[in-house]
A and B are shown apart, each in its own frame.
Chain A
Amino acid sequence: MTALTHLTMAEALDGLAKKDFTAVELTEAHVRAVEAVRPFNIFITETPDAALSMAKASDERRAQGSAGPMDGLPIAVKDLFCTKGVSTTAGSHILDGFKPEYESTVTSQLWRDGAVMLGKVNLDEFAMGSATITAHQGETVSPWSPGAPGAWEKKIVAGGSSGGSAAVIAARAALGATGTDTGGSIRQPAGYTGTVGIKPTYGRCSRWGIVAYASSLDQAGPMTRTVEDAAIMLRSMCGFDPKDSTSVDMPVPDFRAALTGDIRGLRVGIPKEYRVEGLSAEIAALWDQGIAWLKEAGAEPVEVSLPHTKYALAAYYIIAPAEASSNLARYDGVRYGLRVEGGNLKEMYENTRGAGFGKEVQRRILIGTYVLSAGYYDAYYNKARQVRTRIKWDFDEAFKSCDVILTPTAPSTPFAIGEKMDDPVQMYLNDVFTVPINLAGLPAMSVPAGLGADGLPLGLQLIGRPFDEETLLRVGQVVEKAANFTALPPFVA
C-alpha cells in the first residue's frame, strides 16, 4: 500500500470508505510528517492534539454513516484564516498573541465537511509577497531545495504568498491546504512546487474571517496535489455567505463531476502578449507543449489578444497597496496583538505600527497612503482603476473567441532565497502572468507541467470565464494527465 501521506484526497477517501485505514491512522501519519518537515519552517502553529480529536470524531461519524465529503482528510491552513482559539498571525509581529474568537467561513465549511486541521502554515507577511520570506516567523524553504534538510546546497523559495501551503503539500505533510490569492499567491507557489492551485472567481469563496490584504482582489482557494483533489476541496470552500457583502449567491456545482476528460471542440485562447521579454526559453517551450497536449485532446487553439497585459502589474501596485493601507489601519495596538507604548495615543500608534509591521508591509502601506492622499488620488488611484477596467474588457473580448485561456504560471522556475531581493520591482515581475486575472476577477488555476533544466517544477496556468471553474478543472485535468508529472521533491516526509 502507498504510504498514507502519499495518497491523494480521492484515494484517501476511498481507503477510509473501505476501512483500509482510519482517519486517526491517516492523521497520525500526517502528524509525524508535520514533525519531519520542521527544518523547512513550514508551520507557524502545529495543532496535533486538535487534529487527532478531529480525526477521532471523523471516524465516529463514518461509523454512523454520516461522513462528509472531506471526512478524515488532514489539511493545513494558511495562517491568514482566522481559526477559533488557535493563534492567527498573518506572518506578522503585529498580531502577536492574537487568538480569534471566531472561525473564518471557509475553514468552518471545511470542518463542517469533515476535514482535519494539522496546523497553520507560513506565508509572506499579510500575504504581501511572492516567496514566503517576509514573515516575522522566518522564511519557508521549499522541499525542492537540493541537499539534505538544514544543509541545503541552496535554499529554493516555495513561492508566495501561500508558500507554506504549497510546501506542505509538496513535502507530503498534508493532503491539501487552503491558500489565498490576491495577485497570484495560490497559483505561483503551486507552480513553483509542482502542485495544483485554484484561485476561484471573485465572490465564490467567502472572505469573512480571512485577514484582509486587498479586498477587491483577495480570494481563497484550494491547493492540492491533483486536479481531482482541487475539485473536492473547492466544493467545500465555496458557497454563499451573507457575512461577506461580495459573496455571490449561486449554487455550488459538484466540481468533480465536471472532470469528464472531454475537451473536444473547446477553444483554447493563447494570448500573444504573454510572450513577454524575460520569458525563459524552457517556459516558452513548455507552453507550446501545453498547446500541443490540448490540441491532441481535441481542443482548438486560437490566438487571442490581451493588449493591456503589460500594464497590469503597475495597476496592481497601486490598487493593492491602496486597499492595504486602508485594511491595515485596524492594527493600532488597541484591539488585538502587539502594543508598543508611547507618550500619547498617536505615539503609541506609530510605535506599534513601526515595530509590528515588516519592511515590505510598511512599503506597501506607505505607497497606498501616498496614492490615496489629496492631490494624487486621481493621478494614481483613479487612473489605475480605469486601467483595471480596460484589462477586464480585454478578457471580455478574448472570451468571445475562446472558452479558456492557457499561459505559463510564472516567467521562470523558482529562484533561490537571496536572489532578486534588492529591487522590489524585479520581485514583482514573478506575478506578471497571474496579476491580470485578479484585476479581472476571473477564475484561474496552475497545474504542474514539467521540470526545468535545474530540476525545479514548472506550471501552466488556465484562465476561465467568471464562475466557470468547471471548464477550468476539466481542461486542467487534461493537462495534468498529458504532463504526467510524477517527480518528487528531494525531500518528502
Chain B
Amino acid sequence: MSLDKATVAKIAHLARIKVPDEELESLAGELSQILTFVEQLNEVDTKDVPPMTSVAAQKLRRRKDEVTDGGYAAQVLSNGPETAEGFYVVPKVVE
C-alpha cells in the first residue's frame, strides 16, 4: 500500500496536524512503509474470528448514575492556556 502526498495531506487535516508541504513527500514514504509492513496480516485466516474488544475477561462494571465528584471549576481550568469567567477561551467560532 502506498500513500500519495494528497492522501497524507488529507489524513493530516483529519488528525488536525499541520504538516508543512515540504514534509509531505517523506512522510508519505514512511507511512507507506508501515502500511506495506502490516499487509502481512492478510495471510492470517480470520474467518469467523471475533475481533478482540478487551483482553480483560470481565464485563464493564455498572454504577449508579449519580454525581460523585466535582465542584472545582478553578482546578479544572487551572491548566488552560487561556481562560476567563470560569470558561476556556478559544478563537471565535460563530460569526
Tell me the A residues contacting B by CB distance below 8 Å. Answer: 97-101, 202-203, 216, 242, 245-246, 248-249, 308, 310-311, 313-315, 317-318, 325, 329, 332-339, 341-351, 353-355, 357, 362-363, 365-367, 369-370, 373, 380, 382-390, 392, 423-425, 428, 439-441, 466
B residues sitting closer than 8 Å to A (CB atoms) are 3, 8, 11-20, 27, 30-31, 33-35, 37-44, 46, 49-58, 60-61, 63, 72, 75-76, 78-82, 88, 90-93
Contact A370 B31 (CB under 8 A): yes
Residue of B nearest to A325 (CB): B15
Establish whether residues A97 and B79, one from each chain, have CB atoms under 8 Å apart when the complex forms.
yes
Q: For residue B77, which residue of chain A has the nearest CB?
A: A335
A349–B17 alpha-carbon span in the complex (Å): 7
Interface residues of B, dominant DSSP: loop
CB neighbours (8 Å) of B16 from chain A are 329, 332, 346, 349-350, 353
B56 touches A202 (CB 8 A): yes
Task: Enumerate the 4 nearest inter-chain pairs by beta-carbon distance, A residue then B residue, closest first.
Answer: A441-B55, A354-B18, A385-B51, A386-B46
CB B50 to nearest CB in A, in angstroms, measures 6
Give chain A residues whose Cβ lies under 8 Å from the Cβ of B56. 202-203, 246, 248, 441
Given A385-B52, A386-B51, A424-B33, decide whether A337 and B15 contact each other with a Cβ distance below 8 A.
no
Complex CA gap A98/B78 in Å reads 9
Tell me, in angstroms, the Cα distance from A440 to B60 when the chains sit together. Answer: 18
Contact B51 A382 (CB under 8 A): yes
Task: State how many angstroms separate the Cβ of A464 from the closest Cβ of chain B.
Answer: 14
Q: A310 CA to B44 CA in the complex, in Å?
A: 10
Residue of B31, B41, B80 near A384 (CB, 8 A) is B41
* CB contact between B44 and one of A308, A344, A382 (< 8 Å): that residue: A308
CB-defined contacts of B51 to chain A, threshold 8 Å: 382, 385-386, 388-389
User: In the complex, how many residue pairs between chain A and chain B have their CB atoms under 8 Å apart?
Assistant: 167
Q: Is the CB of A314 within 8 A of B93?
A: no
Looking at B31, B52, B72, which has the most chain A CB atoms within 10 Å of its CB? B52
B39 (CB) vs chain A CBs: closest residue: A314
Report 15 cross-chain contacts, Cβ distance below 8 Å, ordered by A residue. Answer: A216-B54, A242-B61, A314-B39, A329-B16, A332-B16, A337-B81, A339-B81, A341-B91, A342-B91, A354-B19, A362-B17, A366-B17, A367-B31, A367-B35, A370-B3
- With CB as the reference atom, state the residue of chain B lying closest to A202: B55
Inter-subunit contact A367/B55 (CB<8 Å)? no
Contacts A366-B8, A390-B49; A334 near B18 (Cβ below 8 A) = no
Which of chain B's residues have a CB closer than 8 A to the CB of A351? 18
Of all chain B residues, the one with the shortest Cβ separation from A379 is: B42
Closest to A346 in B: B16
* B55 touches which of A365, A386, A392 (Cβ 8 Å): A392
User: Which chain B residue has the least Cβ–Cβ distance from A314?
Assistant: B38
Among B14, B18, B78, contact of A369 (Cβ-Cβ < 8 Å):
B14
**A311-B41, A441-B56 known; A344+B91 contact, CB < 8 A:** yes
Q: Write the chain B residue with the least CB distance to A467.
A: B57
Give the docked Cα–Cα distance between A440 and B34 (Å).
22
Report Cα–Cα, A392/B3, bound state, in Å. 31
Which partner residue on chain A sits nearest B79 by CB separation? A336
Q: How far is the CA of A474 from the CA of B20 in the complex (A)?
A: 53
In chain A, what residue has the closest Cβ to B3? A370
Contact present for A424 and B30 (CB under 8 Å): yes
A386 touches B75 (CB 8 A): no
Residue of B at shortest CB range from A318?
B38
Interchain CA distance A35-B20 in the complex, whole Å? 40
Question: With A101-B76, A365-B17 given, can you name 4 additional A-B contacts, CB distance below 8 Å?
Answer: A100-B79, A311-B40, A315-B41, A362-B19
Which of chain A's residues has its CB closest to B53's CB?
Answer: A385
Find chain B residues with CB under 8 A from A385 CB. Answer: 51-53
Q: Once the chains are docked, how many angstroms separate the CA of A311 from the CA of B41?
A: 6
Query: Is B40 a contact of A246 with CB atoms below 8 Å?
Result: no
